[in-house]
Amino acid sequence: MSDKPSGGKAASSHGAFTLEEILSQPACWRASQRDLEASGALKTTVERFARIEEWMFVGCGSSYYVAQAAAATLTTLTGLRAQAVAASELLLFPEQVLAAKSNFVPVLVSRSGRTSEVLKAAELLAGRGISTLGISCAPGQALEKLASTTIVLPAADERSTVMTRSFTSMLMALQALAASLAGKQDFLSAQHSLAQAGEELLGTLPQRLREFVSGHSFADYVCLGQGALYGIACESALKLTEMSVSYGQSFHTLEFRHGPKSIVGKEALIVFLLSETGYSAELEVLEEVKKLGGTTLVVANRADERARAAADLLVELGANAPEAARLPLYVPTAQLLGLYTGIKKGFDPDKPRHLSRVVVLDEDSQETSEHAAI
């Protein structure tokens, strides 16, 4: 398989849709930003929920990891309390999840707008008289009818099963909402520069990742991140699992020392998503892993010489944007790593094993339950 550094289609048909959608992300971000501005959806949402004191982001699979990163961003930008909750936790343990909550709004995240567990969560919340915000990429679906207010990003919808551009686009929209609530125009302006940074990154990244995968074989993958990057680390591990049927794990970077580092060896790839805030402490873990003989892939906005020396493959983002605004740029590395690893192992990332595009749990549905593409 080969592709042009600028992002040409794969020679093999395996993963062609997924690759195209990964590479389309900068254009998709621009289109989604234009749609949000034209629709006035952010302004309407801010006006409705301006006095809310706490936010709860709800999702399943990849959408739950969107929720994790969005909750961290909202707290960072607004100072308000925010948490991410798996929809299944809300359904099975509602009293535990909703305990001591009064002035709050749940944000229901679903690419398809049809994810059964998210819809059931919406019904549960509506039954208790709780207003909700929904976000999806598919217009006219059930979530729009059940949520009190919705944000829809049709430009981010996908043909492939695995979430790629929908993940980064929904995350950016929720980050824009947080910035709008906080009145941080500088953050909103910086978001508009991400598409250019994304294009520059994706100009060479596919070829670099393809060559890296071609030259290495791993039995295990570990993805590490702190703060808002922990949700991105979870999503990164999931991309590897979905697209390549590989064993992927995720941990907070410093927590990796407390037992999980026993996995370090030539057969495991350790992926570090280095933050700016925790850079020094995270760098120490990176160097520790390297001394133990680990193979490392490092993603950082800008790396120093110590990080360069400890990285078997270094991806620098080089974005001039606030730290939280850069989160979407961390995602394509793992997306491409999963894609090329899957193809190398003989799988088709467009048709992941045992997975369907959306989780619909109705007994008469032709679609089956799966963990991540929602």
What is the domain-level CATH number for residue 315? 3.40.50.10490
Q: Which segments within 252-305 are labelled E, that is strand?
A: 268-273, 295-300
Same domain assignment for residues 184 and 229: no
Same domain assignment for residues 156 and 266: no
Domain boundary among 141, 158, 191: 191
Cβ(152)–Cβ(137) below 8 Å: yes
Same domain assignment for residues 126 and 224: no
Counting Cβ atoms within 10 Å, is residue 138 exposed (0-12), middle (13-18) or buried (19+)? buried
268 within some domain: yes
321 within some domain: yes
Looking at residue 14, what is its pLDDT? 87
Looking at residue 361, what is its pLDDT? 66
Of the candidates 176, 304, 211, the residue with the CA atom closest to the CA atom of residue 5: 211
Boundaries of domain holding 305? 202-344
Residue pLDDT, tens place only, 37-89: 999 999 999 999 999 999 999 999 999 999 999 999 999 999 999 999 999 99
Angle (nearest 5°) at CA 183 between 39 and 181: 65
Looking at residue 355, what is its pLDDT? 63
Same domain assignment for residues 216 and 143: no
Of the candidates 117, 111, 107, the residue with the CA atom closest to the CA atom of residue 80: 107
Domain boundary among 191, 223, 255: 191
Same domain assignment for residues 163 and 249: no
pLDDT digits (tens), the chain, 374 positions: 333 333 444 445 888 999 999 999 999 999 999 999 999 999 999 999 999 999 999 999 999 999 999 999 999 999 999 999 999 999 999 999 999 999 999 999 999 999 999 999 999 999 999 999 999 999 999 999 999 999 999 999 999 889 999 999 999 999 999 999 999 999 999 999 999 999 999 999 999 999 999 999 999 999 999 999 999 999 999 999 999 999 999 999 999 999 999 999 989 999 999 999 999 999 999 999 999 999 999 999 999 999 999 999 999 999 999 999 999 999 999 999 999 999 999 999 988 776 655 556 664 344 444 444 46
47 within some domain: yes
Same domain assignment for residues 128 and 167: yes
Same domain assignment for residues 106 and 209: no
Same domain assignment for residues 254 and 128: no
From CA 354, how far away is CA 98, in angstroms rounded? 33
Same domain assignment for residues 101 and 176: yes
64 within some domain: yes
Looking at residue 3, what is its pLDDT? 39
309 within some domain: yes
The mean predicted confidence, pLDDT, of the chain is 92
Same domain assignment for residues 225 and 323: yes
5 within some domain: no
Same domain assignment for residues 215 and 168: no
Termini Cα distance of the chain: 28
Written in H, E and C, the secondary structure of 29-51 is HHHHHHHHHHHCHHHHHHHHHCC
Domain count across the chain: 2
Same domain assignment for residues 339 and 217: yes
1 within some domain: no
Looking at residue 356, what is its pLDDT? 55
From CA 149, how far away is CA 106, in angstroms rounded? 11
Grouping H, G, I as helix, E, B as strand and the rest as coil, residue 109 is strand
